[in-house]
Structure 1
């Protein structure tokens, strides 16, 4: 079984249990049953019950709980994170290690935590979040982050923050972070471009809000046939050189180039 980290995380509203199986069958690498943004306040207890009823130890699910500053946080973690059908918790508005610890205090041993960095304070505490217990990777909540900081735009306006999240994740030795959602649903080219931008910055996956987005995200996080062909030529040239200096396409092949070729072909 592959141990690769998910490229796609698909949200499904926790108050729409009829969609749970459709989401699981959508082709998403991971499904997040959402109790936070997708659920109106008056429906949150019922949504929690629906998620709990659907929890299956044979197919553990991720759940985005409500934030620690809400009245539903304690009930969410008390009800859910001890259940063997819960693989992990997506923690919104993550800002401190104490928030992560509050989740894990109730959790079974296999539960992981994906903190969403979506506030200035959360970003300022990146190192603490990256090194918190059972945090496998960081999620960048781009939409709420823009609102919190008064930023207007998801492009160059967020370049600094994306780079710093990737750097902090690497220094902590955790998985490549997960980029925020694309709000467009029907424009596959735009979705793929968004995902490829995140990949260029060093992200390893992307949040999705609709199954239509999955194919484009998966394309963006897959090596193209041209890249695979280039990598094979690099490694063939290196092998044939028997240790001598070698060039491919007029460019010298040094160790970083070899390592990239090996990574593309899954040999690194």
Structure 2
């Protein structure tokens, strides 16, 4: 039941700010993740949990996909979170600091097969067990900020590349869509979001977690194929004719290259359709 959209761009909204739920839904993001974990102070978690249903009540069914990030299984909030959100009309649940496939199975038993489970991998043990987690989850996501702290590294690309590559490999080997990359903490610097999204796409990620509607448009641009790639894909598909391997510009074009070209064209068309919506949502 994995999500095959490219890119998948869900937007976080604090669970204790239900007045923002509607704005998040209207932002143009692929999904809204109502955050009961990091975005809510300990003293406010119970009230935030109890207020989610009322916040969702004003939304029209099917307006957008709704996920909830619960608190971790190692906290005193986990069981209450699961009990509360099990009765809500959700698309899925995000499990933070995912390390143990057994916890993902508990979520499966609680919510049933119609609710997607995203495993947010944020710890060294989570990376080590990523291939096991991918066998249970519908999708993996990378909590890069927490992971950098956990290994004592700066939050820079070269320090986190091995972890990112492991998540990509774990997802691919389990037949899942590309994992969802972590957040870019700045939303005023559009180019930073574009660059981070493009880097994630280069590594094989299939989406990115967002913290502000202004990041939607830049993230779409970052995941978009370049004009050079689109032109090359058009040339390959035009030269192919009725199929089979052909020579083009001194190189052989065979099945893997054709598959790449078709993927580029498919993604370009989807991202072109998303671009206007994403930018309109950011202006709203």
TM over 0.5, shorter chain = yes
Q: Is residue 153–residue 159 contact of structure 2 (8 Å, CA) maintained in 1?
A: yes
Question: How far is 1:150 from its partner?
Answer: 0.8
In 1: Cα distance, 2:148 partner to 2:20 partner = 30
- Write the distance in 2 (CA, Å) between the matches of 1:152 and 1:223: 29
Structure with more of its chain in helix, by fraction? 2
> How far apart, CA to CA, are the structure 2 residues paired with 1:165 and 1:244?
33
Deviation at 1:5, TM superposition (A): 5.1
- How far, CA to CA, are the matches of 1:77 and 1:243 in structure 2? 53
5 and 99 in structure 1: CA distance in 2 versus 1, 3 angstrom threshold:
farther
Aligned partner of 1:121 in structure 2 is 125
8 A contact 2:67–2:92 mirrored in 1: yes
Pair 1:244–1:155, CA change in 2 (3 A): closer
Q: How far is 1:108 from its partner?
A: 3.6
Cα shift readout 1:113-153 (whole Å, capped 9, x = no counterpart): 10111011111111110001xx2110010000011111113
The aligned residue for residue 188 of structure 1 is 190
Q: Could you say which residue in structure 1 is the equivalent of 2:77?
A: 72
Say which structure, 1 or 2, has more relative contact order (CA 8 Å, 6+ apart): 2
Change (3 A) 1:51 1:244: closer
Q: Secondary structure at the residue paired with 2:11?
A: strand
* TM-score, normalised via structure 2 length: 0.86
Moved over 4 A (4+): none
**Counterpart among 78, 100, 104 of residue 100 in structure 1:** 104
Distance 1:262 1:218 in 2: 19
- Residue 212 of structure 1 deviates from its aligned partner by 1.0
Quote the residue 1:253 is aligned against: 253
Instruction: Compute the TM-score of the two structures, normalised by the length of structure 1.
Output: 0.91
- Is 1:54 equivalent to 2:55 in the alignment? yes
Aligned partner of 1:111 in structure 2 is 115
Moved more, 256-265 or 219-228: 219-228
CA distance in 2, matches of 1:245, 1:113: 43
Alignment of 1:21-40 (within 5 A): 21-40=22-41
Structure 1 position 227, deviation (Å): 2.6
Asked if structure 1 preserves the Cα contact closer than 8 Å seen for 2:99 and 2:129, the reply is: yes
Secondary structure of the 2:221 match is helix
Q: Which runs of 5+ in 1 are unaligned?
A: none
Aligned to 2:201: 199
Contact in 2 for aligned 1:206/1:217 (Cα 8 Å): yes
The RMSD of aligned alpha carbons is: 2.0
| Cα shift at 1:107 | 1.1
